[in-house]
Amino acid sequence: MASSATSESVDDYLKAILELGGAEEARVATQDLAERLGVRTPSVTGMLQRLSSERPALVLYERHRGVRLTASGKRRAWELVRHHRLLELFLHDVLKYSWDEVHEEAERLEHFISERFEDRVAAVLGDPEVDPHGHLIPQKHAPGVFRDEVPLFDWPVHTPALISSVSDRDASALRDLERLGLKPGVTVSVEQKTSGAALVHAGACPDLIRLARDLAHCILVAPIPSPKA
């Protein structure tokens, strides 16, 4: 049980570094990693030192300069992302979990599924491209892609956009977004913004929706694609 728990912890670190580093693969500060994982900074430092001394090393870590993944660390991190997003979709579409329930279940399962199980799930789902929250599912044995998207709160006022994905980390926020009809594929426009909230139009609804800043940051948007000729 101890080695299993240790392996899960390593996986959690690798995935968090991948997500925090983003498309630029920026160095991730120890404090940011501690906040994401909910652990003390000295514990993070100890784990990063350990992961950087593995052979092959999973991370490149320099004290006071942060951490980023090696090629080996990235492979494992993207594999976990694929597991997680496939599992979320399987739980949602096949087992009929609601979209606010699937994240925690997938977090528990993503470390343990075999390649055979992964292949079966992908086949049953028809080799899907996105999970229930609009996140891209990486292809098998391939690095994933970070979408060019920004939080709705940071989008220019009076400029229509498309909801491309929503954060899956807060179940309460997901329930609010579903109640408001703010899901991937819906067009939105920020009509007014203050330091703490935004008023938005969504879809065909004529009424303005008031979103607190934190909830608006859970919604990621992108430009509306041009119509195909």
Where are the domains positioned within the chain?
2-69, 75-146, 150-222
pLDDT for position 1: 32
- The model scores a pTM over 0.85: yes
- Residue 160 clears pLDDT 50, i.e. is over it: yes
Two structure tokens written together for 195: 């330091």
| DSSP element (H, E) containing 61 | strand 59-62
Average pLDDT over residues 48-58: 92
Q: Give bridge partners of residue 212 from the DSSP assignment.
A: 197
Provide the CATH topology of domain 2-69: Arc Repressor Mutant, subunit A (1.10.10)
| DSSP element (H, E) containing 106 | helix 102-109
CATH of domain 150-222: 2.30.30.90
pLDDT for position 206: 86
**The residue count for the chain:** 229
CATH of 75-146, one of 1.10.10.10, 2.40.40.20, 3.40.50.150, 3.10.450.50: 1.10.10.10
Task: Express as a percent the part of the chain with pLDDT over 70.
Answer: 97
Of 63 and 161, which is predicted with more confidence?
161
User: Which residue in this structure is represented by tokens 């052979």?
Assistant: 55
pLDDT for position 3: 40
pLDDT tens figures, 104-142: 999 999 999 999 999 999 999 999 999 999 999 999 988
Q: Round the CA-based radius of gyration of the chain to a whole number and report it.
A: 19
16-25 contacts at long range (C-beta below 8 A, 24 or more positions apart): 17/59, 17/67, 17/68, 17/69, 17/73, 17/77, 18/69, 18/74, 18/77, 18/78, 18/81, 21/68, 21/69, 22/146, 23/146, 25/68, 25/69
Which residues are CB-contacts of 114 (< 8 A; sequence separation ≥ 6)? none
Whether 75-146 and 2-69 are alike in CATH topology: the answer is: yes
pLDDT for position 115: 93
CA dist 151 and 181 (Å) reads 17
- Residue 5 clears pLDDT 70, i.e. is over it: no
CA dist 14 and 11 (Å) reads 5
pLDDT tens figures, 196-216: 999 999 988 889 999 999 999
CA dist 26 and 35 (Å) reads 17
Which residues are CB-contacts of 6 (< 8 A; sequence separation ≥ 6)? none
pLDDT band at 2 (very low <50, low <70, confident <90, very high): very low
Two structure tokens written together for 210: 């008031």
- Residue 222 clears pLDDT 50, i.e. is over it: yes
Distance in Å from the first CA to the final CA of the chain: 57
Cis peptide before 56 (omega within 30 of 0): yes
